[in-house]
Amino acid sequence: MMTFAFALPGLADELEINLGTLATEAELHSRSISIFPGGRGLPPGSGGVGEGAELYRARCRTCHGETGSEGPASRLSGSDGWMSFSDPLRIVRIQKNPLLVMSVGAQWPYATSIFDYVRRAMPHTAPKSLTNDEVYALTAYILYLNELVSEDAILTKENLPGVEMPGRARTVDVWQEE
């Protein structure tokens, strides 16, 4: 194992600190939950729009609204972005600028991010409680609400990365440009 070395003022010798322990494959496998745009990290399993709709009604509707656009939590689809429903000028703003028509469907660049976030963080009161099949189903339903997949779509690790998201073409990578 390589050690790292640093010099302290007044000390001619190098000190070595090497306190990390080698992580096992099993440890890494259970903790690596990130899903990447190309599909890396996606688990086996599948889920369709129909099952997703049922799950949505039971687990998501209270916060995200009937069709994913009513809130009060972040918009998944439809007419709004992140504006609060309690904002008295919400309607005026939406009318004034159609860009307020923002949602997961309109803004997120990759469909894999929906799977990643739902699986790690949703439902808000019981994160990490959904099965992989349930996460595929909910991802399918959210994409269906945005008219990005058809009503009979069934998602797997093979076809999810291929779903084209409108947010991708609108992306400007500020960091790369600096």
Partner 1 sequence: MKHSRLDFLAGGGIVDRRSFLLAGASFLAASSLGSARAEAAQGDARIGTGFPGWMRAPGKPDTGYGQPVSHESQVQKRSRPVVPETTGFTLWHTPIENQRGAITPSGLHFGVHHNGIPDIDPAKHELVIHGLVERPLTFSVENLLRYPMVSRILFIECSGNTGANALSPFARDDSCQDLFGQVSGSEWVGVPFRHLLEEAGLQASAKWAIAEGADGGSHARSVPVSKLLDDGMVAFYQNGERLRGAQGYPMRLLLPGWEGNTSVKWLHRLEFTETPAFTKDESGLYTEFLSDGSIARFSFLMDVKSVITHPSGTQTLPEKGFYEISGLAWSGHGKLSQVEVSADGGRSWAQAELHGPVLDKALTRFSIPWRWDGNPTVLLSRATDERGVRQPTRAEWKARYASHSFNHYNAIQSWRIGSDGSVENAYA
Residues that bind partner 1 (CB under 8 A): 1-4, 6, 17-23, 27-28, 31-37, 62-63, 72-74, 81-84, 86, 89, 92-93, 96-97, 99-100, 102, 104, 107-110, 112-113, 116-117, 120-121, 124-125, 127-128, 167, 170-176
Query: CB-wise, 40 or 151, nearer to partner 1?
Result: 40
How far is Cα 123 from Cα 38, in angstroms, rounded to an integer? 25
* Sequence-ordered list of residues with C-beta below 8 angstroms from that of 145, at least 6 positions apart, any chain: 67, 68, 69, 76, 77, 78, 105
105: number of Cβ within 10 Å: 24
Query: CB-wise, 57 or 96, nearer to partner 1?
Result: 96
Q: For residue 16, give the DSSP letter.
A: E
How far is Cα 154 from Cα 46, in angstroms, rounded to an integer? 7
Query: CB-wise, 50 or 94, nearer to partner 1?
Result: 94
Structure tokens at 41: 């990290």
Query: CB-wise, 57 or 170, nearer to partner 1?
Result: 170
- Dihedral sign for Cα atoms in the order 81, 83, 88, 89: negative
